[in-house]
């Protein structure tokens, strides 16, 4: 093996070490070159990594759905023995739109684009029932109020493609989604103010 071969290997190993050591968490290299920079922080050793807005939007959507639609509401006891109990909050258009399976993707730009126009939603209550009082973990004694809705969505679906063969296809579509808005109502215990 020649001297040139070993020199190439040594340069390659040195470049690899200079690339890997600063971003490995090793503080030895950090303290050695700390005085060379104005502020020795993390961003001197690694470059900024661009993140697509798609992933940011996906995280925001996940938190939005979990906060708004995936939690069970626990309400305080309702005063009065004969108080009317009925479903008050029908699903919002945003919730119905997010529940539709086919409306989450718009296709690929210029190859197969999909758009939805003239969207109409019809929301019908189908179940409004109150269960008996029972014990629920982490809640205590409560009653489950069932509120189920049938949401029918009518829209005009337009599919376009510009390459390899340009075409546009329009279709009238109807989809049905069932949304549950169940919530818990704590059971009122015996009145403590009354004396036996």
Domain coordinates in residue numbering, the chain: 1-42
Residue 192, pLDDT score: 43
Q: What is the pLDDT of residues 96-138, one digit of tens each?
A: 988 888 765 677 777 888 888 999 999 999 999 989 999 999 8
Contact 182, 144 (CB under 8 A): yes
What tokens does 84 get?
């009317």
Residue ranges of the chain with per-residue pLDDT less than 70: 1, 21-48, 80-83, 103-105, 189-196
Cα–Cα nearest to 150, from 174, 177, 181: 177
Residue 26, pLDDT score: 59
What whole-number distance in Å separates Cα of residue 100 and Cα of residue 31?
Answer: 55
């Amino acid at each position: 093996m020649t001297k040139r071969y070993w020199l190439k290997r040594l340069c390659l190993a040195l470049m690899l070490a200079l690339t890997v050591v600063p971003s490995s968490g090793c503080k030895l290299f950090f303290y050695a070159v700390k005085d060379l920079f104005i502020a020795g922080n993390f961003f001197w050793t690694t470059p900024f990594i661009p993140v697509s807005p798609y992933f940011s939007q996906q995280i925001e959507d996940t938190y939005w759905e979990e906060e708004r639609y995936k939690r069970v509401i626990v309400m305080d006891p309702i005063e009065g023995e004969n108080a009317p109990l009925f479903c008050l909050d029908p699903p919002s258009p945003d919730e119905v739109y997010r529940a539709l399976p086919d409306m989450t993707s718009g296709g690929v730009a210029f190859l197969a684009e999909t758009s939805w126009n003239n969207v109409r939603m019809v929301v019908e209550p189908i179940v409004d029932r109150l269960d008996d009082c029972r014990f629920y973990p982490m809640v205590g004694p409560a009653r489950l109020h069932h509120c189920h809705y049938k949401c029918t969505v009518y829209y005009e679906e337009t599919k376009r493609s510009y390459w390899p063969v340009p075409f546009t296809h329009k279709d009238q579509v109807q989809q049905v989604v069932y949304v549950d808005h169940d919530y818990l109502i704590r059971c009122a215990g015996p009145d403590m103010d009354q004396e036996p």
